[in-house]
Chain A
């Protein structure tokens, strides 16, 4: 502690301000980092975490251990991160949007309060969804789809990967904005949704571009629109939904994946990790690896991620309100 201000101390203060992240917690990281992932090894969120943590380990000079704790749509991963938090600030997690935005609404109680227990570090990547139909459906474009859906109440049936999943909520948001009502058929994986669309059992589905693309290439499916604000690099020919077929110009629905820490983690550590991950995501090779599994790098500040959580919680909360009111 400095009790007497001296010139040297003043200089030290100035330096400390510049190099605050490095000095505030000397010697961090003091051991291996543990990153909790709420999905099984080999799944898309898991591969994303590995793509980021491999260079991260090099930069920090400490190994980064991925802890796969799958279950409950990623909620168990967040719970386990909080349960294993320590004083050394070595416990983190990567998660998709669900556990931080809609899970509390869908499950009633997740065992954590996102605002109070979670410290966002940075957004890592986003993924839009595409609206896919069978090739032989006779629907040519988004306008045709909206017209077919408007032909009657629940004239079209769509598949999702579960109640409250991004695919479900996105479809309901779309239906609401387009002024139509569609029949929701929940499945458990995009593989099942794809089979059901190709088999002609259901009409459509909002899907991950990487799940739909191979079927489009083979001529058994087509993509009518994408939910991002701009065309997506993995499916550049697919038009954005916003502004088409009577949908609002600001229509946008994306899944995202971010790095989080338990609340109480040193601000300097969060700052340091944010900087490292942002630099990692600037590497074109990393961006390409992410794109191959359907994610577009989208780093930002910790505050920006906190805002995104808040905005999405409100937006999807409104969609859930409308679904429950039906």
Chain B
């Protein structure tokens, strides 16, 4: 079946009322759970799983996928309005989205996030359709050494974001990596810093860390400092509409973000997180006035949002072409297929073309729906900021607790989020960037695992990082980036 025929078949399948309804349901639910901080796609898909027993495998997949990418749209809302990211990707959006909201431009920030999400998704679909085969080969060609080198590059590239002084940025990355060490070490099975608590065996809960460092810390800060309250009252339509300058600043970051996201999304694991951070770092680097970043630069919302949404689409590449899920949520979706007697794997495209192409078509339909659904909602979201703080803050804290508890159902995590929130407040007082802490936390353990795995496989020979072409490419890029930074620093000093 040619690509064109496939797309037509897919569209006619996905537009059947009996299928379309599940796409609508999925994306709406996705937006909804995305908006609720911390309650991510994982929880929503787990809840929907029993329902999927009663519908066709194709409709089930389309609905669950809708939740998955729909949640990416919703995730931006809480991070921009309330600085409540439930994932590291939306933490990046909060970096400039929240300052925009505080200066009365919440509507513009939300518009930028939605429009960029849409453009990112569409480009992601294009890449998925045209390059799926190539991307899936790339994904299997990546070995432990390549992942380790790639993530080090990500850390080096992103280390400059969100902090005025590089030393402070590095300190946060290092702290994040140390926190990431907590739990069972994959390579040796050793339990590190768990203090005998089984709740810590799988490490610190990522959602608790993100919401504590950002949301709870922000609430504490605002309660202590009444001057910071009440900024967002009275937002007229005028402030909601983007200015011409805003529109001019969006297209290029969108395209760059979507390109990064499309590529990294196809790599199992951290593609989405990495591409959001990389996109932010890239925008800051190419910007004429990098000092605007962190104070409400629209490029800092546009690029990363396009990146994480395109990554959410191409994340389906290894899942659909190889039957190998890239993250736990994908594994959950594949589990739903297995219950239907569909064996996910490399043969699925040939055995059930209507499933593959129907899903691809539903991506397009779903994202269009999301845009249409979300643009009118911007006004409602922004009006949430008019809720008095004495009502809003307790509500936020309740939602934080719900979100954190929804991940594993352990009260331990609620206590943890309170402690992390306090620590986050202290860090914010000293102007440390919590985003970099999150990045170090996510990438640190992966770098360690892959570095040690690569050396195990090479029987201890460090040359493996230069002998493998992919890894060698990343090592070169790291060297080039470091040299560039050193040169820029030297030139500035002169």
Contacts and interface: CB of A to CB of B under 8 A. Distances in A.
A67 B409 contact: yes
Interface size classification for chain B:
35 or more
B343 A164 contact: no
Contact of A42 (B139, B335, B456): B335
Contact of A71 (B144, B201, B325, B345): B201
Given A67-B409, A199-B142, A202-B457, A163 B188 contact: yes
A188 B185 CA distance: 11
Interface string B110-154: 000000000000000000000000000001111110000000000
Nearest to B142: A199
A214 B323 contact: yes
A47 interface: yes
Contact of A76 (B142, B196, B199, B459): B199
A214 B189 contact: no
Interface string A169-187: 0000000000000010111
B453 A199 contact: no
Interface hub of A41, A188, A220 (most chain B Cβ within 10 A): A41
Interface hub of B139, B198, B318 (most chain A Cβ within 10 A): B198
B198 A111 contact: yes
Interface stretch (B43-51, B87-95, B233-241, B363-371): B43-51
B57 interface: no
A107 B194 CA distance: 11
A215 interface: yes
Given A199-B142, A214-B343, A293-B339, A163 B189 contact: yes
Nearest to B346: A218
A217 B198 contact: no
A217 B347 contact: yes
B410 interface: yes
Contacts of A49: none
Contact of B345 (A50, A67, A69, A218): A218
Given A162-B186, A210-B338, A109 B196 contact: yes
B187 interface: yes
Interface hub of A67, A68, A108, A292 (most chain B Cβ within 10 A): A292
Nearest to A71: B202
Contacts of B352: none
Given A199-B142, A214-B347, A186 B331 contact: no
B198 A185 contact: no
A47 B339 contact: yes
Contacts of B140: 195, 198-199
B416 to A, nearest CB: 14
Nearest to A202: B457
Contacts of B139: 195
Given A163-B189, A164-B189, A201-B143, A68 B339 contact: no
Nearest to A210: B338
Contact of B409 (A69, A154, A189): A69
A214 B344 contact: yes
B352 to A, nearest CB: 13
B332 interface: yes
Interface in A29-74: 40-44, 47, 50, 67-72
A297 to B, nearest CB: 17
A292 B339 contact: yes
A69 B457 contact: no
B324 interface: yes
Interface string B405-436: 00011100000000000000000000000000
B397 to A, nearest CB: 24
A189 B99 CA distance: 40
B191 interface: yes
Contacts of A229: none
A76 B197 CA distance: 10
Nearest to B341: A292
Nearest to A216: B345
B46 A71 contact: no
B396 interface: no
A69 B410 contact: yes
B45 A42 contact: yes
A194 interface: yes
B346 A42 contact: no
B358 interface: no
B328 interface: yes
Interface string A203-227: 0000000100111011010000000
B338 A107 contact: no
Contacts of B325: 191
A214 B346 contact: yes
Nearest to B350: A218
Contacts of A196: 143-144
Nearest to A288: B341
A178 to B, nearest CB: 21
B73 to A, nearest CB: 23
A267 interface: no
A212 to B, nearest CB: 10
Nearest to B189: A163
B268 interface: yes
Interface hub of B324, B332, B343 (most chain A Cβ within 10 A): B324
B328 to A, nearest CB: 7
Interface of B: 42, 45-47, 49-50, 139-144, 184, 186-189, 191, 196, 198-199, 201-202, 268, 318, 322-326, 328, 331-332, 335-336, 338-339, 341, 343-347, 408-410, 453, 456-457, 459
20 contacts: A40-B42, A40-B328, A40-B332, A41-B332, A42-B332, A71-B198, A71-B199, A76-B199, A111-B198, A162-B186, A163-B188, A187-B453, A188-B186, A189-B331, A191-B324, A199-B140, A201-B143, A214-B345, A217-B347, A293-B338
Interface of A: 40-44, 47, 50, 67-72, 75-76, 79, 106-111, 154, 157, 162-164, 183, 185-189, 191-192, 194-196, 198-199, 201-202, 210, 213-215, 217-218, 220, 289, 292-293
Given A71-B201, A186-B186, A201-B457, 7 more contacts: A185-B453, A185-B457, A188-B186, A196-B144, A213-B343, A215-B345, A217-B347
